[in-house]
Structure 1
Amino acid sequence: MQGERRGARGWAADTGLFAFGVFSWLCIAGDRMRLGLPDPAWLFELDQVAGIVGLGLLWVRRRWPTQAAAVAVALSTFSETIAFPLLVLLFAVIVRRPPRTAAWVYAGALAAAGVYAWIRPQELGVLGNLGFAVVLYGAIAGWGMVTRYRRALRERAAEQEREERERARQRAREELARELHDLLGHRLSLLSLHAGAMEYRSDLSPEELASAAGVVREQSHLAMRDLREVIAVLRAPIGELPQPSMADLRALVEEARPGSEIAFASTAEGEAPERSGRTAYRIVQEALTNARKHAEGAPVAVTVSGGPGEGLEVEVANGPGREVDRPAERPGHGLIGLEERTALAGGRLEYGPREDGGWRVRAWLPWTA
């Protein structure tokens, strides 16, 4: 496994550790010469070489922490100048490697401490050297485990933040898809209805043809306008898209009336709050679009009622049309989107076929913002 990269901060930390390691090596070597050389005397020279190797291992611990620690553990069987590099390398293994690997290295360090106490018992004695190593290595292990845990918490928090950002992007994409569906689906269904009439109705009078062509031209212009508005704010938050309200319902129905028989009745007390009114508008818009697509020519009734304390009730019902292919068992994306919108607004949505073969969409929305 490749170790972590050494950035500017890493270089500064490693330089500081190396400098302190050199200081530690010089202090231990000076004390040994002052207190007396070990027996045999050549062990002192070998100890100094081991200390220099340990200083070099500090520079490779990020890339090969386990291998560097294993070498330091082996040298610690006889070397005292390896002490500081060994502690640093043990800490690196505990922090950066799996617990199983760290446990093996830690056990090896304790075994090496026992060998050192047997080879060089003159300082603290066998039990004293071994006990000192257990306490010191235990402190390093505890510190490393705490550091490892804190790193894991930071990484988990960063991962959760990335996941949350991805979920937010996904929600934004889904919201944008719903907005595009709502804005353009209504226009395009009107275009399809009147273009179909112009294509298949050979009995239309010139005035009727001109009227249908005028609706096609107007709806094409409005569709292009809506598309330009969406593109203009495509990189902006969804909340900046043009948002309708319940006050626009009558204009929506009037816009859909050419070529359709639509009855509209509203007994709502005053203007509904923004969120509920916008959701009601989208419900009526999608229901009218579906009525044109799946029940062409059928009469449609749009009813809105309610008020403060009661909530807002919206119902769109159409009779049977010439087509019988209606989304009874497997609702389309539009109805699924309406369910999500209604649930987010705190309301309920019901839809299904009527006894006469028509279709009904009914929703209740709270009278809240």
Structure 2
Amino acid sequence: MKKLFVLLSLFLFVGCAEQKTQEPSVDAPVEEPVVEEKEDSVVSFMAVGDNLIHGAIYMNAYAKYGSYEFDDIYSEIKYFVESKDVAYINQETILGGTELGLSHYPMFNSPQEVGVAVANAGFDWIASCSNHSMDKFEDGIISDLNFWDQYPDIVTTGLNRSFEEQQTNKYIERNGVKFGVLGYTYGTNGIEIPEGKEYLVNLYSKERIKEDIERLEGTCDSILVSMHWGDEYSTTPNAEQQELAQYMADLGVDVIIGEHPHVIQPMDWIEGKDGNLTLVIYSLGNFLSSQDEAFNMLGGCASFDIRKDGNTGETTVENVKWYPVVNHISYGDYMAGTRDYRVYLLKDYTDELASQHRLGITRQYFIDKTEEVMNDKFEIVY
């Protein structure tokens, strides 16, 4: 009996051992490949408003220097322009040059030396179209664009010498981020664009904007649009501005930069139909002019960054700030018939400088007017 028990135990042990050896082996865990996180790319922008060259400005320059020299006008803001990756300015008046005959209000033609000073100051996106684009007719547009050809690193939007040029996408690329840029105006002060040459000036319509944006889609990381729109001397956007801003937000535009009213209007966020956020700058006001009212001496500089996610490629607008800008015109030298035109960020504009402004404007006036117009959605830098 004892012998039988031993044999039975041995049988069970061997059977269990055989069953154990027949179990499938477990593979070692497979290590997942390490996904390297890519760094984001950030591009800094600034935008200022109307570079409106009245006759007093270019005649003053000639009286002071015996030539058309304008670098000193932008000297006090140059450091800030050069600190940004992309700097935008609206060239309100056509740069047809002296050969076409200089002129001022109501039909402007400015010295091309203005453009030289703008380039020297560090601006690299020029919004060229405005309601004054046809002031020297087709010849003015061609002369203006031929001038800017000397600066291949500067991009202009809104004017064209041919249909092919109008249909050619415009880009700005910085820090590995590619931006598609567009520019439009509402009209040309009743001066008709020649039949068959509608390409000369980009007049906006919803159909036109949609067509141009669709041509850019898939070719760039972000789209920015310049709009010459709104009611002159109104500090609030009108219904058309708001409707078009929403329309462009729905089309996925990241930033809309507005000018024309000659006074500042607020900035805002607009949500597009896909949940995207669009920054709209309704009006930057005047950057430089020789207008006669205190509120025309206050402009704006919008500063913002565009971040491209290194992993998803998505872009977002961030770090948005508003810098008030002062168009300073001194009392000047009465006997010599000259004045000092300069542009300052308000944060750099002292009470002493304000006391020299020919309109007798205080620094506090610029602060009060800014707070009257702007909302509390963005930081204002004084």
Q: Which has the higher strand share?
A: 2
Larger-Rg structure: 1
TM-score by length of 1: 0.23
TM-score by length of 2: 0.22
Q: Which has the higher helix share?
A: 1
